[in-house]
Chain A
Amino acid sequence: MIRDIDERIQDIDKEIETESSKESDYAADVKIKELKSERKKLLKQCSNPTPADKVYLARHKNRPKVDDYINALFDDFFVQRGDALGREDKSILGGIATFHGVPVTVLGHRKGRNINENMEYNFGMPEPQGYRKAMRMMKQAEKFDRPIITFIDTPGAYPGLEAEENGQANAIAKNLAEMSALKVPVIAIVTGEGSSGGALAIGVANSVYMLENAVYSVLSPEGFASILWKDSSRSAEACDLMKLTAQDLKRFHVIDGIIPEPLGGAHHNPQKVYRELDNMLVAELTKYKKMSPNELARNRYEKFRHMDAAIIAKAKK
């Protein structure tokens, strides 16, 4: 289990820190050396994560978050808040920025990195206002010919009383429909966990990428186990059955590519992940530059229209 290894590594990191803060002496140096070699050995054991391991890594608290990606990949970020209909939903972060000098619209689910931030951002679970805010930004991007880049990382749309009153279903449906027809390039990246319609509502893109250890599924493994077997503790079993890893989704033609992660997960070397993402975005945007606005909309429509065509054709045989 990567969880155990990862927790041990976190302990080692803490120990190394305490040892390093001590007066330098021979014993401490030896200790640090030992710890570092143990850490190295442990990391090597992370090379073949199971689906359940990936779910753990995808939700890791130290995993880069949407604001990390925005800071690392874009310049001149101008944050945009509110749905312009009465509410600001902090579980979506977005705005205008430049990518290699080109204005783009960037947005994504915001989970926060500690319990206070988690609470403030509702653990990255948007209410309808969050989806409407996202759509407002995307419509503006279309108006001003800006490519759209979205970062997906959510346990799902928030299942709350007010969320229902304000039309959670309606907000998600509208996003799916309107995103499908946008006349600018849309690139979506599943960076952590992408669960249910709450993830897809900012994921109807010309190109969809996943980080190597990200997961994307019809709902969380816990929810899956709870609905189908009335037992949420069977989530590890659900992880195996659900086919929710990047490699599975690539086989299903649901995603276009996988962004490699360093051993042990993205948080072990975020810079490497940012570089990979930067390369991918440059390549994708260069590709879509050649398409007219109508071609871009058609390209996206066809992608989702025929996403399962190969699987249907295979079943026919």
Chain B
Amino acid sequence: MRDKEQLYVNHWYEDLYNCFSHFLQKIGSGVKTMSIFNRTKAEQSEDSAGSKHSGHISDYSEDFETAGKDNKDKSEIPEDSVVETITCSACKKEIPAEQMRKCLCVCPECGAHNKISAKRRMHSLVDPGTFRKLKCPVPFVDPLAYPDYKDKIEGLQDKTGLDEAVLLGMGEIEGHKAMIGVMGSEFLMASMGIAVGEKITHAFEIADKYKLPFIMFTASGGARMQEGILSLMQMAKTSAAAQRFGERGGLYVVALTHPTTGGVSASFAMLGDITIAEPDALIGFAGPRVIEQTIGQKLPAGFQRAEFQEEHGFVDQIVPRAEMREVLSQILRLHEKRRWPL
């Protein structure tokens, strides 16, 4: 209920702002005094005065879809599925879908972090009405002419409402602006092909352009086999982009979720300044089955899980889904002011 109110208020401000800015533009005045509206909008007209690429660009509309109710692309808002109950992947209990949604797919019975769709995750992270999808259309590419690949992708696009296996955009987390990426394992195991690699690389570049921190929720079976060698090359492309973003002072936060393996784990997923993980998420390069076949023995319980990665020094903190927003907000807050020396 509160969320809805907030959404309404945001839209109200936006409409009001639009009226005012038209008026002010007509009389040729700046909008500096309009701090009552969110900074984005106020800075927007400052930018049109010609401060492009200064690091304080705020006309986001060049690179992002507009936010709010008029947004044709409802990327943030998850469809409510028709199913009535959802089976928990861990305890196998039937949980009412409504209750599961409220708990962000964390089982109310056993606490298992069940898979959550990319849209629902994004919705759970950002302040209502603040999500603006990154503009980055990538056409369907089929370098191997892989049988039935196109049909498969088109089917998934219809089913998931995603255009590819990653959803990217700008949003606010408790008022802190960030570029946020969420991989959707519902889209071909969120494997990384040309489109995913291109979108993530572009997101790094746009995050750098607007000096936004970048938060990436990873989940992937690895490289997209159906795209052959070019899917492997996305590992180099995204890693190079992460490196460059870091060299320019960008904050890159990775949240590892179940499962993050293969070519994604061995590229941008392991390059965060801060790395957090959801409880019990499988994180590793080689899949457990391949390892068992190679070494000819069963793997110990908990192998490659988030807690294992934390113990071996590759994860800063394990963060339950319910605390994710709060922790991300803390991380953003701690990096917002760089004022040393005092």
Contacts and interface: CB of A to CB of B under 8 A. Distances in A.
Contact of B232 (A165, A168, A196, A248): A196
Give chain A's interface secondary structure class: helix
A176 B228 contact: no
A187 to B, nearest CB: 15
13 contacts: A163-B285, A165-B308, A167-B312, A169-B285, A177-B240, A181-B243, A197-B266, A200-B235, A228-B226, A242-B229, A252-B143, A308-B233, A311-B141
A312 B138 contact: yes
B194 A216 contact: no
A146 B116 CA distance: 49
Contacts of B239: 173, 176-177, 180, 204
A283 interface: no
Interface in B205-248: 223, 225-233, 235-237, 239-244, 246-247
A177 B284 contact: no
Interface string A162-175: 01111111101110
A244 B261 CA distance: 23
Contacts of A160: 286, 291, 294-295
Contacts of A241: 144, 146
Given A169-B283, A304-B236, A315-B142, 16 more contacts: A160-B286, A166-B312, A168-B266, A170-B266, A172-B266, A173-B265, A173-B270, A176-B235, A180-B240, A181-B243, A200-B232, A218-B263, A305-B240, A307-B233, A312-B138, A315-B140
B141 A312 contact: yes
Contact of A178 (B243, B268, B284): B243
B201 interface: yes
B86 interface: no
Contacts of B140: 315
B237 A169 contact: no
B290 A243 contact: no
Interface residues of B, number: 59
A157 interface: yes
Nearest to A197: B266
Interface string A52-63: 000000000000
Nearest to B304: A164
Interface in A165-207: 165-170, 172-174, 176-178, 180-181, 196-197, 200-201, 203-204
A169 B270 CA distance: 7
Given A254-B230, A305-B237, A308-B230, A218 B291 contact: no
B27 to A, nearest CB: 43
Given A174-B271, A244-B229, A301-B240, A157 B285 contact: yes
Report which residue of B144, B197, B243, B283 has the largest number of chain A beta carbons within 10 angstroms of its beta carbon: B243
A15 B146 CA distance: 45
A134 interface: no
B139 interface: yes
A84 interface: no
A164 B286 contact: yes
Contacts of B243: 177-178, 180-181
A27 interface: no
Nearest to B234: A308
A218 B223 contact: yes
A169 B284 contact: yes
Contacts of A2: none
A157 B237 CA distance: 19
Contacts of A158: 294
A311 B271 contact: no
